[in-house]
Structures are given as structure tokens and as C-alpha cells.
Structure 1
Amino acid sequence: MTESASPAHRPGADPVSVWRGLAEGSVLLDGFHALKHAVRFGASVPVAVTVDRAAALALADELAPDVRETLDALLTEVSDKVYASLVPRPHPTAVAALAVRPSREAGLRALARTSRDAPVVVLDQPRNLGNAGAVIRLAAGFGAAGVVTTGTLDPWHPTVVRGGAGLHFATAVERLTVGELPPGPVFALDPEGEDIRGLKLPDDALLAFGSERSGLSAELRARADHLVALPMRPQVSSYNLATSVAMTLYHWSATGGAPATA
């Protein structure tokens, strides 16, 4: 679903007042691409602003004609000063919007499905917000069923959403404890595991990745059904988290799984 018009476009509505009234409980969409993806995947967007409507709509004509009409109805032009007052870090495209966060209940229902046709990515106590956003972007691109984080990192933090380019709305994204993980066999990435090149990852797998610094937690390791290792040259200590997720999802897709096509 997409919004045909935001409150900012209704007669008498002030976009700045609408923004400030909604900001605390909403998801910040930082930049044109985040707004484009959120709208494309059905986010409810009550307000969107830009310092240059013509430029933003030209980008839509070039990169996202499928949502151009919706963006035309949503975007309100504001001054540079107003735009800078609404966002913590101005984006090069000078576009920003607020979206309604999907309900936790809906996310949990999506993750709990037992007939999944794509894995769930589990980030076990991640630390880096940008890495978490990159993983969500990867998961959406491969058609993963969702991304779950354990620990203290909020997967809906504005920096994570920025790194995910608005693709949180293309998959289920939730924070859970290890005991709350959805059903399915857990394939946990670990240097001591079995070489992934000899395995076929099932579609209903939970693909678990440890933190950038300390690897898998003891609790997640105890929950794992299989330990899996990525090929790595001796004396190289580790891969970046997002790189590890990309390699693992590619292996899944190349050995029978496939990204969603619709």
C-alpha cells in the first residue's frame, strides 16, 4: 500500500508542525532512496519534505517511475534552514520523510511462519549500527524472511535505517532474545565449523552471525544445530559482518534458494 497524500498536503496543514508532532514515534527516512524503498514496499508515510521538489521528482522519473506519482503527492518543499532543523544529518539528496513503524505483532507473525521459503538472518549481539543497516539491505535484496538482532542494538535506530536505505519495510526486522528466536534449524557461522561450500542451507534456516568483536555468544552457540565456516585464507582473522552475511546468502541462493521476484 502507498499513501495518496500526506497530512502536510491537506488544506491548512503545516509540514513542519506535522513533522514535529510525529517525529518521536516515527521512523526517519533519510534521503531519496530510503523514501523510495519505503513507499515501494508499502510503508505508511505521513509527511515528506525536500529542499527541491523538482530535483527530487526528476530523480523519481529517472530511478523510480513506479512511485513517482506517490512521491509527487507526498513531497513538500521547505527551505534549507527548515530541512536542516528537522534531520540530524542532512542527506545529499536533501529529502527526508517520516514513516509509521510496522507493528511488532506483524513482524513476529512473519518470522514465526513455519513454511518459510527463505532464511531468517540472526545478528547475535551486533555492535555497529552501519553494519546492521547494510545487513538489512542485503537481506531485503536476497528476499530473506527477516532480520533478527539479539542484544542491545535497536535494529530500527535511525543510523541503521539510513544504512538499510529504507529496506526495513521490505522484510521483517525485530529484536529478540535467543530464547525467542523463530523456529527452524540454526546454522551459526564460526571459524571452527564445517566448510559452507559442502552444505546446502535449507530455506527455513536461521543463519546466525556473531558480533564483530567477540563472535557468537555462548547462548547462541548452545542453540545452534550446525556450525558453518566461510572459506578464509590462513592468518586472515575475519570478514566484515555484512560481507559474511552476503557470502552466506549468496551461497544459499546459488544452491537452490532464490531471491523473491515479485
Structure 2
Amino acid sequence: MSKASTADGHDELQRGAGGALGAEEAVRAWRRAADSAVLLDGFHALKHALRFGADVPVALAVDKAAARALADDLAPDVAGELAARLVEVPGDVLRALVPRLHPTGVAALAGRPARADNLAAIGRTGRTTPVIVLDEPRNLGNAGAVIRLAAGYGAAGVATTGSLDPWHPIVVRGGAGLHFATAVERLTVAELPDGPLYALDPEGADIRGLTLPDDALLAFGSERSGLSDALRARADHLVSLPMRPQVSSYNLATSVGMTLFHWSAHSTHAP
């Protein structure tokens, strides 16, 4: 995936780049760029963003030595890059810059991937892994968990419809920075890419009798209201997950995980 970011913020981030920054310079760079950049909240979000090629010019830590020890232990593949970028700042300073300080005492800013690159990844002809479609999702944490699942299964991308911003800081926190391991964009139903659309619905055919194609769009409605009328009209197939009678629904991320596992069990392209 390209490292290109949105126009706003990228230049600001670049002006503040470099592991040799002093604490005051790093904080100034953060404040210039924070409104338009992606917040990486915690060591694991930063680790994944670096691992999957994100632009991360500003990275702060309350205890740089502790963060480096975590990297040596859990992410030696990016330990050198992380050490070069981290700038140590006092805890009260970092707390003032983020909504809630992560227990690891680490936070960073990244440039958001270009929308055109994400759309190309989601819509490319001959996809060999599915696109996950979240139809008007409501819960930010659940959306993040789905993006984490999609990255783990190597999905081509995650598209959301409706008003929820899939790059909201709470979504990025829930996804542990794995937005950069797949393509994540908000689209209208009319903008969804080509491909057979399988929508999860209690009245659909039992998924256990189906093979989901590699280029499928796998669509999931909100837990409260299910599929929107527009998405249902666009669907080629309605599919149901096995569920005990009188149980109302599964958590959204659970439904996505079950569906991706079923796809992976029949695909030669699954990780």
C-alpha cells in the first residue's frame, strides 16, 4: 500500500519529522499536525503502522527505554525504526496531547493513506480476497475489531457505509493500528466495488452449504437494525450463520470472524 497521505497534515508531519527532534520540537510538530493526522494510540498501534509502511514522523513516549524494550521483545523487525523515531516527553505533556494515555505510554501521528490508493485496492479486478462491507455501523470499537480481523485474514479491504468515520481514533485504537495493513474507506452503497455481494441476514441460506468466492463482498448490517434497504437491494445472496433458537444475534466482529473463517476454509488464497 502507498504511503501517500491526505494533503492536509502530510506537509506538517514532514516538517516535524526525524528521530533527532528534541521534545519541544516534537510537541510543536504534533500540535501542528494533530487535527489532520491519524492518531496511533499505544505501542501496538505504532508497531503495526510501522510494520505495514505507514508514514509515522512524530512518535512520543513517556519512557523511551521501556518502549524500546517492548519493541526488542515483541517487534524486533521494527525495533530500530521505532527507536529512531521515538522522542521522550514528560507524562503530563503526552497526556495533554491525547484523549487518553495508553498504558504503554506511547502515542504517534501518521499520515492517512490516499483515498485513491484505498479505492484501487478495494476495487481492483481479480481480487483474491474478499472486501468486508460494514453497512451503517454504529459502534466504533466493533468497527476497529473488524478491521483487525480483516487485516489478519488478508482481506482486500473494509468499506463502511453511513456516518461512522472508519478512521476515527477509537476505531484505530480498536484496530491496533492495522488500518495500514488493509484498505479502509467510507463509501456509499452505490460506490461499492464490483463483485458478488453476500449479505449476512437471519433469513438467508445457511453459510455451511456455500462456498464464498475469493472476490466476494461480505456485507454485515448493524446489530440493532440489520441491513439497510439500499444494501439489501444490492445484495446478490443472503447468507445466515448457524445460531441457536432464541439467541438474537452475534456481536458484529464475531459474525465477521465466523464468515471469514468459513471463506478461508475453502480458499487457496487465505493466509
- Give me the TM-score of the superposition, normalised by structure 1: 0.96
Pairing partner for 1:94 from 105, 116, 134: 105
- Amino acid of the structure 1 residue aligned with 2:80: E
Counterpart residue number, 1:9:
19
Counterpart residue number, 2:187:
176
* 2:254 counterpart of 1:243: yes
Whether contact under 8 Å (2:143, 2:166) holds in the other structure is: yes
Query: What is the rounded CA distance, in whole Å, between the counterparts of 2:98 and 2:202 in structure 1?
Result: 41
Query: What is the rounded CA distance, in whole Å, between the counterparts of 2:95 and 2:41 in structure 1?
Result: 12
Whether contact under 8 Å (1:161, 1:168) holds in the other structure is: yes
- How many residue pairs get aligned? The number is 259
Whether contact under 8 Å (2:220, 2:252) holds in the other structure is: yes
Counterpart residue number, 1:139:
150
- Which ranges in structure 1 are unaligned for 5 or more consecutive residues? none
Counterpart residue number, 1:149:
160
Counterpart residue number, 2:37:
26
Counterpart residue number, 1:201:
212
Deviations 1:138-196 (A, max 9, x none): 00000000000000000000000000000000000000000000110000000000000
Pairing partner for 2:54 from 30, 43, 68: 43
Query: What is the rounded CA distance, in whole Å, between the counterparts of 1:147 and 1:106 in structure 2?
Result: 13
Q: Secondary structure at the match of 1:14?
A: helix
Counterpart residue number, 1:66:
77
Query: What is the rounded CA distance, in whole Å, between the counterparts of 1:220 and 1:251 in structure 2?
Result: 22
Whether contact under 8 Å (1:118, 1:257) holds in the other structure is: no
Whether contact under 8 Å (2:130, 2:218) holds in the other structure is: yes
- Which ranges in structure 2 are unaligned for 5 or more consecutive residues? 4-15
Query: What is the rounded CA distance, in whole Å, between the counterparts of 1:50 and 1:94 in structure 2?
Result: 6
Q: What displacement does 1:212 show?
A: 1.6
Pairing partner for 2:87 from 76, 79, 100: 76
- Amino acid of the structure 2 residue aligned with 1:203: D
Whether contact under 8 Å (1:133, 1:164) holds in the other structure is: yes
* 2:126 counterpart of 1:126: no
Deviations 1:40-90 (A, max 9, x none): 000000100000011000000110000000001000000011110111011
Q: What displacement does 1:11 show?
A: 5.8
Q: Secondary structure at the match of 1:151?
A: coil
Q: What displacement does 1:258 show?
A: 4.0
Q: What displacement does 1:228 show?
A: 0.2
Query: What is the rounded CA distance, in whole Å, between the counterparts of 1:23 and 1:144 in structure 2?
Result: 29
Query: What is the rounded CA distance, in whole Å, between the counterparts of 1:155 and 1:259 in structure 2?
Result: 24
Q: What displacement does 1:256 show?
A: 1.8
Pick closer, same or farther for the CA change 1:109–1:231 going to 2, 3 Å. Answer: same
Q: Secondary structure at the match of 1:246?
A: helix
CA RMSD, 1 decimal: 1.7
Counterpart residue number, 2:118:
107
Q: What displacement does 1:259 show?
A: 3.5
Pairing partner for 2:238 from 227, 235, 254: 227
Q: Secondary structure at the match of 2:122?
A: helix
